C-alpha cells in the first residue's frame, strides 16, 4: 500500500442507491470520500469510477430495475447522473477537495485518439488536484454499444493511468470458488489465474450490470497492465483503507510482474471485437513461437467488417485465440489480398503498401493467463471459396 501512487476505485450501483427506495446512500458516499481524502493527503492520485446514475434516475422514469428497458435506462442515467455528481461534489467539498465528471463510451476507450484525449484530461485534472469521476455515458449508448458494466471500464481506466491498484467495491466480500450460497463455498483470498474461477462467477444483482464474472474479466485486464485488483465489500466505515491495510477480508488478483508497453496493453485489453482472422496451423504455430508479421498468405478466413486501424483477434484453426493486433487493411482488402496471393498489393489495391496485415510492432501474442474470446461463428468469409 505504501508503494501505491495511483488507484482506481469502482463503486457498484447497489452501494450508492438504496435497493428499495432507489435513493442515494449518503452515509456510504461520506465514508468513501473520507477515505479518498486520506489517500489524497498521502499524495495518491485517485480516479473514482462510479455507477449509480441509472439506479438513482429510475424513480423519475417510474420504472423498477427489473422492468427498465434500454430507453428507460438512458433516460434514468440522464436524470441520475447530475444528481449523483452533485452529491459527490458537495461531499467532496466537505473533505476539502474538488471533483470533475468524465463520461465515456466504449468507442471512446477503444479508439486510440479519443483514449489519449481522455488520458490527457485525467492527467490535467490530477495536475490541478481534482479527482475525476468516470461513468459510462449511458444516454448515448444502445444495448450493442454499451460496455454495460463499469468493472471493465474501470480496468481500462486503471490501465490508462497506469494505476497500481484497482479496487472494486461491491455487495459481497470477494470471490468464492463456487456460488457463495452453496455448501462448502471457499473464499479465495489471492489468485493469479483468473480463468480458474470464471465458471464459479456467474450471476449479477438487480441494480448493477456487472457481477463477479465482469469483475474477473476486469481483474484479468488489470493484471496484464501491472495492476493489482482488490475485490471487497463496500462497507460504510473506511471502505477503502480497511482493505488496503489488510484489516478485512477481500480477494486480491495479482498483477503480472512486468507489463508490456502501454501501447501493447491498450492493444490487448479489448471490450469489443471489431473483427478477426483465422490463420493456417503452420502460420499460427510459427507466430506463437516467434512474434512475426501476419501476412495475407497466413489467413484462411476473415470475420466481420472492419476498417484499417481496427484491432483484430487472431485465431488458430482449432478456434484458440492466439494474438491481437492492429490491422493495416480493411476486411475487404484483407480478403482481396488473401484470395490473390500471387498478385502485388499495388495491383490489387491501387496503391502500394507493405503487405503485412498486422505488423509485429502492432501485435501481441496472448499469454496463457490471458482470457481469450470465443471465435465468431457468424459473418465468416473464407479465403478459399
Give SS3 for 12: coil
Residue 149 touches ligand GLU, criterion: CB under 6 A: yes
Q: How far apart are CA 73 and CA 80, in angstroms?
A: 10
- Among 25, 44, 51, 164, indicate the residue that binds ligand GLU (CB under 6 A): 51
In whole angstroms, how close is the CB of 362 to ligand GLU at the nearest point?
A: 31
Rounded distance between C-alpha atoms, residue 292 and residue 360, angstroms: 5
The answer to whether 234 contacts ligand GLU (rule: CB under 6 A) is: no
Question: If binding is defined by CB under 6 A, does position 13 make contact with ligand GLU?
Answer: yes
User: Which residue reads 496451423 in cell numbers?
Assistant: 281
CB of 120: closest distance to ligand GLU in angstroms?
A: 23
Q: Name every residue whose Cβ is closer than 8 Å to that of residue 287 and which is 6 or more positions away in sequence.
A: 279, 294, 298, 314, 322, 323, 365
Give the C-alpha separation, 38 to 162, whole Å.
21
Using CA atoms, how far apart are residues 89 and 87, in angstroms rounded to an integer? 5
Stretch that binds ligand GLU, among 186-194, 208-216, 289-297, 305-313 (CB under 6 A): 208-216
Q: Is 109 in the site for ligand GLU (CB under 6 A)?
A: no
User: Of these, 8, 53, 131, 314, which contacts ligand GLU (CB under 6 A)?
Assistant: 53
Residue 201 DSSP label: -
CA 363, CA 231: separation in Å to the nearest integer?
Answer: 31
Cell 498489393 belongs to residue: 345
Q: Measured from the CB of residue 111, what is the shortest distance to ligand GLU in angstroms?
A: 19
Class of residue 89 by CB neighbours under 10 A (exposed 0-12, middle 13-18, buried 19+): middle
Q: Does 210 bind ligand GLU (CB under 6 A)?
A: yes
Scanning the structure block, which residue is given the C-alpha cell 502501454? 262
The nearest distance, CB 76 to ligand GLU, in angstroms, is 8
209 forms part of the interface with ligand GLU (CB under 6 A): yes
The answer to whether residue 229 forms part of the interface with ligand GLU (CB under 6 A) is: no
**Residues of span 287-326 touching ligand GLU by CB under 6 A:** none
Is 345 a residue that touches ligand GLU (CB under 6 A)? no
What DSSP string runs through 42-104?
TT-EEEEEE--HHHHHHHHHT--TTT--HHHHHHHHHHHHHHHHHHHHHHHHHTT-EEEEEEE
Number of residues that bind ligand GLU (CB under 6 A): 15
Rule CB under 6 A: is residue 55 a binding residue for ligand GLU? yes
- Shortest reach from residue 63's CB to ligand GLU, in Å: 13
Task: Please give the grid coordinates belonging to residue 370.
Answer: 490471458
Nearer CB in complex with ligand GLU: 136/173: 136
Contact yes or no for 77/54 (Cβ under 8 A): yes
> Interface with ligand GLU includes 208 (CB under 6 A)?
yes
Question: Contact letters (x/-) for ligand GLU, 240-269, by CB under 6 A?
Answer: ------------------------------
166 binds ligand GLU (CB under 6 A): no
* 135 is an interface residue for ligand GLU by CB under 6 A: yes
Site residues (vs ligand GLU, CB under 6 A): 13, 51-55, 77, 135-136, 138, 149-150, 208-210
Amino acid at each position: 500500500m505504501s508503494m501505491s501512487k495511483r488507484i482506481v476505485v469502482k463503486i457498484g450501483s447497489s452501494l450508492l442507491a438504496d435497493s428499495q427506495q432507489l435513493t442515494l446512500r449518503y452515509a456510504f458516499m461520506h465514508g468513501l470520500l473520507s477515505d479518498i481524502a486520506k489517500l489524497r493527503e498521502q499524495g495518491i492520485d485517485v480516479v473514482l469510477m462510479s455507477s449509480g446514475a441509472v439506479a438513482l434516475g429510475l424513480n423519475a422514469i417510474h420504472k423498477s430495475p427489473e422492468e427498465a428497458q434500454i430507453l428507460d435506462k438512458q433516460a434514468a442515467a440522464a436524470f441520475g447522473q447530475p444528481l449523483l455528481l452533485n452529491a459527490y461534489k458537495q461531499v467532496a467539498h466537505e473533505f476539502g477537495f474538488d471533483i470533475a465528471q468524465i463520461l465515456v463510451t466504449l468507442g471512446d476507450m477503444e479508439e486510440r485518439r479519443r483514449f489519449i484525449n481522455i488520458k490527457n484530461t485525467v492527467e490535467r485534472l490530477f495536475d490541478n488536484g481534482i479527482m475525476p469521476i468516470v461513468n459510462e455515458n449511458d444516454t448515448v449508448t444502445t444495448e450493442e454499444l454499451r460496455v454495460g458494466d463499469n468493472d471493465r471500464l474501470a480496468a481500462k481506466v486503471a490501465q490508462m493511468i497506469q494505476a497500481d491498484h484497482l479496487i472494486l467495491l461491491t455487495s459481497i466480500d470477494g470471490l468464492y470458488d463456487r456460488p457463495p450460497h452453496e455448501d462448502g463455498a471457499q473464499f479465495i483470498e489471492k489468485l493469479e489465474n483468473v480463468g480458474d474461477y470464471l465458471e464459479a462467477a456467474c450471476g449479477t444483482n438487480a441494480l448493477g450490470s456487472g457481477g463477479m464474472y465482469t469483475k474477473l474479466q476486469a481483474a484479468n485486464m488489470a493484471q496484464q497492465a501491472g495492476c493489482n485488483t482488490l475485490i471487497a465489500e463496500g462497507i460504510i466505515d473506511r471502505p477503502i483503507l480497511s482493505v488496503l491495510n489488510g484489516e478485512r477480508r477481500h480477494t486480491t488478483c495479482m498483477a503480472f510482474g512486468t507489463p508490456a508497453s502501454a501501447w501493447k496493453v491498450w492493444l490487448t485489453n479489448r471490450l469489443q471485437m471489431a473483427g478477426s482472422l483465422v490463420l493456417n496451423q503452420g502460420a499460427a504455430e510459427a507466430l506463437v513461437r516467434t512474434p512475426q508479421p501476419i501476412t495475407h498468405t497466413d489467413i484462411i478466413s476473415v470475420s466481420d467488417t472492419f476498417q484499417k486501424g481496427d484491432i483484430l483477434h487472431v485465431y488458430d484453426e482449432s478456434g484458440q485465440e492466439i494474438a491481437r493486433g492492429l490491422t493495416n487493411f480493411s476486411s475487404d482488402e484483407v480478403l482481396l489480398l488473401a484470395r490473390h496471393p500471387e498478385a502485388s498489393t499495388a495491383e490489387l489495391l491501387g496503391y502500394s503498401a507493405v503487405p503485412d496485415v498486422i505488423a509485429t510492432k502492432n501485435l501481441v501474442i496472448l499469454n496463457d493467463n490471458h482470457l481469450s474470446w470465443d471465435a465468431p461463428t457468424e459473418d465468416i468469409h473464407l479465403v478459399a471459396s
